[in-house]
C-alpha cells in the first residue's frame, strides 16, 4: 500500500503561526474501499501543529479536512481528493477542490502570467531560429563532398520546420486556454525548436546528423499532436471554469482575465509567426547549401592546395626540430698530422677547429674543459693547480733536510732497541686479536660441546657439572631417580602411586598413639580414634600430632552396647583432652570409632 505525504503550513491574516495545541483533523467522509483489500473507516487522524507546520501520510482518495487552529468558529470540513502521488501541500488540495470567487480570478491571472511566459518562450525560439540560420550560412562555406547527404537532411529539416510551426500554433491555442495547455505548448515548442536547430546543424556535417534531424522532426510531430490534444482538453476546462464563474457572479473578472489572456496569446502568436519566419530563412540557407556555393567562394577554395598536394609537398620537408650526422655539415675543414709545420687560422667565429672545437675568448684565452688527461694531452690550469697542491702536501709530509743530516745518539738508539725487543708488530697483533672473542661474550646452545642427554647418559660422577640438553620436543628426559634429590620422572611417580594403591598404607606411612581409653591412628591428615571402655567420668589425652584442625570439634561415636546408640566425642584442641558426652550414664562403657582431620605436624618431627 502506498501512502501520500501531505505537508501542512498555516498562518493567520497577520502572518502569525498558530499557537501550541492547534491541529488539523483528517477523516474519510464515509466508509469507503481502500486501494488494496482494506476498507477505509471515518476515524479522525489528528495532526498537531508545531510553529504552524505538520505533515501526515494518508490513503489516496476523498477526504475531509477540519481545522482547530486559532478559533473553533469555522468547523465545517473541506472536501478534498488525496492524490495517489506525493508529496503534496494541503494548500494545493484546498485550492483544487474549494471554489470561491477570488480563487477563479487567481486562476485567470495565473493563465495570463503563463500566456506571457509563452510569449517570452516564443521570443527565445525566434532567437534560436536566428542562430540556426547563422549556423546554416556559416556551414555553407565548407560543404562540398556532402551535398547529397545535406540535400536529404535539408528535406527532413524542412519537414521539421513545418512541424515546428504547427507546434507553435498549437502552443498559441494552448496559451489562450489555461495554465495547463500553455505549459504543455511551451514545452512542445521548446522541444521542436531544439530539434529543428539540431537537424539544421547536423545536416551540415554528416549523414548521422541527417538521421538526428529526421528523428527530431518525428518527435516534433508527436509533440504537436499531444499539444493539440492538450489544447482541446484545456479549452473545455476553460469553458467549464467560465461557466462556473458566471454562476457565482464573477463574469466581469473572468471577462477581464480572458481579455488579458487573449492579448498575451496574441503576442505569443506573433512571436510564433516570427519564429516560423526565422525557421523558413534557416531552411532557405540549408537549400542554398544543397544547391551549391557562390562562384566567389568556389574561386577562393580552388586557389587553395588540396589535401593530396599538401601531403606530397610535406613529404620532402624535414621537421622543424631535427638532427644531422657530421657528414651532412659543409663548409668546415680538418686539421690533423698532415697540417704539421703549417700556420692554423681560426674559423669565422674566431675559434680553433682542430677535430674538436677549441674556443678562443676575446681576451686571447684558450679554454680546455676536460678533467681527465693522458700523458701526451695538453692540460688546463685547474689540472695543473690540483697536481701542484697534491705535490705540496706530499713534500710537507717529508722530514726537513737539515734534520736528516743530524746523526742519532748511540745511547738513544740502544734504548729504543731495548724498548722494542720482544714487542709484536702492529699488523701481527691486529691479526691475532681479530680471531679472539671479547672478554664479555655469549654462546648459543650449539656452541656447548660436552652437553649430555640425561635420559641417555649414565648418572655418574663422570658427567658431573655438565649442561643437559632438552629433546626435540623441548622436554627434559632423565633416568629413574637414585637419591632423594634426584629428578623424578613421570614414570617413577606413576609407578609409586600404583604400588601404593595396590599394597595399601604401609606401617611406615601411618602414625599411632594411645592415651587411656582412646587409641589414635593417623594417615596423612586423617585421624581415626578408637574408643574402648570409655566413659563420661574420665577423659583421654590427645597426643601431639593428633589434635583436631578446628575448635570446637564434636565427632559421633557409635556405642556398641546393647542397645546400640550414638554418643558425641568432644575433642578440645586447646586443652588436648577427649571427653565423651551424652552417654546414657557415667557407669556405662562406650566402645566405637570416630574420624576427624588434623593440621598438626607429623608426629616425631
pLDDT (0 to 100) of residue 481: 78
- CATH 2.40.128 assigned to 4-95: no
Mean pLDDT of 21-27: 86
Q: Apex CA 186: angle with CA 181 and CA 191, to 5°?
A: 125
Asked, colleague to colleague, whether 4-95 and 510-597 share their fold, the answer is: yes
What residue ranges do the domains of the chain occupy? 4-95, 120-300, 355-406, 476-505, 510-597
Q: Locate cell 538521421: which residue?
A: 211
pLDDT (0 to 100) of residue 168: 47
Comparing C-alpha atoms, which of 186, 191, 194, 159 is closest to residue 170? 186
Residues 6+ apart with CB under 8 A from 359: 351, 366, 367
Could you tell me the pLDDT band of residue 143, with boundaries at 50, 70 and 90? Answer: very low
Could you tell me the pLDDT band of residue 595, with boundaries at 50, 70 and 90? Answer: very high
Comparing C-alpha atoms, which of 269, 281, 267, 238 is closest to residue 169? 269
pLDDT (0 to 100) of residue 455: 63
Residues 6+ apart with CB under 8 A from 360: 346, 350, 351, 352, 366
Total count of residues recorded for the chain: 605
Report residue 10 as a C-alpha cell.
498555516
pLDDT (0 to 100) of residue 221: 45
pLDDT tens for each residue of 575-588: 999 998 876 665 66
Distance CA 222, CA 207 (A): 23
pLDDT greater than 50 at residue 178: no
Q: Which residues of 194-210 are buried (b: 16+ CB within 10 A; e: fewer)?
A: bbbbbbbbbbbbeeebb
Reported pTM = 0.23
pLDDT tens for each residue of 217-255: 445 445 445 545 554 554 555 555 455 444 444 445 445
Q: By three-state DSSP, how is residue 296 classified?
A: helix
Report residue 303 as a C-alpha cell.
586557389
pLDDT tens for each residue of 254-284: 454 456 555 545 555 555 566 556 556 655 5
Q: Which option is the CATH number for 510-597: 1.10.8, 2.60.40, 3.30.530, 1.10.3470?
A: 2.60.40
pLDDT greater than 60 at residue 337: no
Distance CA 142, CA 271 (A): 32
Report residue 522 as a C-alpha cell.
593417623
429 phi, psi to nearest 5 deg: -70, -40
- Kindly report the average pLDDT of the chain as a whole number: 69
pLDDT tens for each residue of 42-101: 899 999 888 888 899 888 889 988 888 766 555 678 888 888 887 899 888 888 765 554
pLDDT (0 to 100) of residue 196: 46
Distance CA 5, CA 18 (A): 21
pLDDT tens for each residue of 384-428: 888 888 888 877 777 666 666 667 677 877 777 777 776 767 777
Q: Which residue has the higher pLDDT, 267 or 330?
A: 330
Query: Is-contact 194 160, C-beta < 8 A?
Result: no
Amino acid at each position: 500500500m502506498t501512502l501520500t505525504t501531505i505537508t501542512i503550513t498555516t498562518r493567520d491574516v497577520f502572518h502569525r503561526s498558530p499557537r501550541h495545541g492547534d491541529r488539523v483533523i483528517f477523516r474519510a467522509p464515509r466508509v469507503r474501499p481502500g486501494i488494496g483489500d482494506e476498507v477505509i473507516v471515518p476515524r479522525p487522524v489528528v495532526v498537531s501543529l508545531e510553529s504552524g507546520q505538520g505533515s501526515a501520510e494518508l490513503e489516496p482518495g476523498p477526504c475531509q479536512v477540519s481545522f482547530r487552529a486559532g478559533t473553533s468558529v469555522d468547523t465545517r470540513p473541506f472536501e478534498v481528493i488525496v492524490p495517489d502521488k506525493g508529496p503534496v501541500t494541503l494548500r494545493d488540495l484546498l485550492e483544487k477542490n474549494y471554489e470561491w470567487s477570488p480563487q477563479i480570478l487567481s486562476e485567470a491571472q495565473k493563465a495570463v502570467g503563463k500566456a506571457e511566459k509563452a510569449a517570452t518562450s516564443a521570443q527565445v525560439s525566434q532567437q534560436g531560429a536566428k542562430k540556426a540560420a547563422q549556423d546554416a550560412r556559416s556551414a555553407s562555406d565548407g560543404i562540398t563532398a556532402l551535398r547529397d547527404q545535406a540535400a536529404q537532411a535539408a528535406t527532413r529539416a524542412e519537414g521539421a520546420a513545418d512541424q515546428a510551426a504547427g507546434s507553435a500554433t498549437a502552443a498559441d491555442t494552448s496559451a489562450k486556454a489555461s495554465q495547463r495547455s500553455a505549459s504543455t505548448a511551451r514545452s512542445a515548442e521548446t522541444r521542436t525548436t531544439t530539434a529543428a536547430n539540431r537537424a539544421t546543424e547536423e545536416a551540415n556535417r554528416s549523414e548521422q546528423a541527417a538521421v538526428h534531424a529526421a528523428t527530431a522532426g518525428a518527435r516534433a510531430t508527436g509533440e504537436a499532436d499531444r499539444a493539440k490534444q492538450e489544447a482541446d482538453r484545456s479549452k473545455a476546462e476553460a469553458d467549464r471554469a467560465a461557466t462556473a464563474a458566471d454562476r457565482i457572479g464573477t463574469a466581469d473578472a473572468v471577462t477581464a482575465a480572458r481579455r488579458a489572456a487573449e492579448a498575451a496569446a496574441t503576442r505569443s502568436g506573433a512571436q510564433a509567426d516570427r519564429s516560423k519566419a526565422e525557421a523558413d530563412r534557416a531552411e532557405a540557407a540549408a537549400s542554398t547549401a544543397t544547391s551549391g556555393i557562390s562562384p566567389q567562394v568556389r574561386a577562393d577554395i580552388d586557389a587553395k592546395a588540396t589535401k593530396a598536394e599538401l601531403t606530397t609537398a610535406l613529404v620532402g620537408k624535414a621537421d622543424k626540430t631535427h638532427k644531422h650526422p657530421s657528414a651532412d655539415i659543409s663548409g668546415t675543414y680538418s686539421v690533423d698530422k698532415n697540417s704539421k709545420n703549417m700556420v692554423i687560422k681560426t674559423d669565422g667565429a674566431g675559434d680553433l677547429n682542430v677535430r674538436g672545437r677549441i674556443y678562443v675568448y676575446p681576451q686571447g684565452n684558450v679554454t680546455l674543459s676536460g678533467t681527465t688527461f693522458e700523458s701526451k694531452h695538453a692540460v688546463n690550469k685547474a689540472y695543473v693547480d690540483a697536481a701542484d697542491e697534491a705535490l705540496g702536501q706530499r713534500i710537507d709530509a717529508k722530514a726537513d733536510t737539515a734534520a736528516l743530516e743530524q746523526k742519532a745518539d748511540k745511547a738513544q738508539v740502544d734504548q729504543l732497541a731495548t724498548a722494542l725487543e720482544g714487542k709484536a708488530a702492529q699488523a701481527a697483533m691486529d691479526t691475532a686479536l681479530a680471531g679472539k672473542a671479547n672478554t664479555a661474550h655469549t654462546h648459543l646452545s650449539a656452541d656447548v660441546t660436552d652437553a649430555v642427554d640425561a635420559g641417555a647418559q649414565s648418572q655418574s660422577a663422570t658427567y658431573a657439572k655438565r649442561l643437559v640438553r632438552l629433546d626435540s620436543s623441548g622436554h627434559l628426559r632423565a633416568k629413574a631417580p637414585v637419591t632423594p634429590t634426584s629428578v623424578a620422572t613421570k614414570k617413577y611417580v606413576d609407578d609409586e602411586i600404583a604400588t601404593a594403591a595396590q599394597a595399601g598404607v604401609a606401617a611406615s606411612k601411618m602414625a599411632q598413639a594411645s592415651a587411656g581409653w582412646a587409641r589414635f591412628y593417623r594417615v596423612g591428615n586423617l585421624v581415626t580414634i578408637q574408643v574402648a571402655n570409655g566413659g563420661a567420668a574420665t577423659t583421654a589425652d590427645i597426643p601431639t600430632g593428633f589434635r583436631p584442625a578446628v575448635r570446637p570439634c564434636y565427632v559421633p561415636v557409635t556405642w556398641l552396647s546393647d542397645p546400640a546408640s550414638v554418643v558425641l566425642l568432644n575433642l578440645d584442641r586447646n586443652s588436648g583432652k577427649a571427653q565423651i558426652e551424652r552417654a546414657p550414664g557415667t557407669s556405662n562403657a562406650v566402645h566405637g570409632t570416630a574420624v576427624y582431620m588434623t593440621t598438626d605436624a607429623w608426629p616425631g618431627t
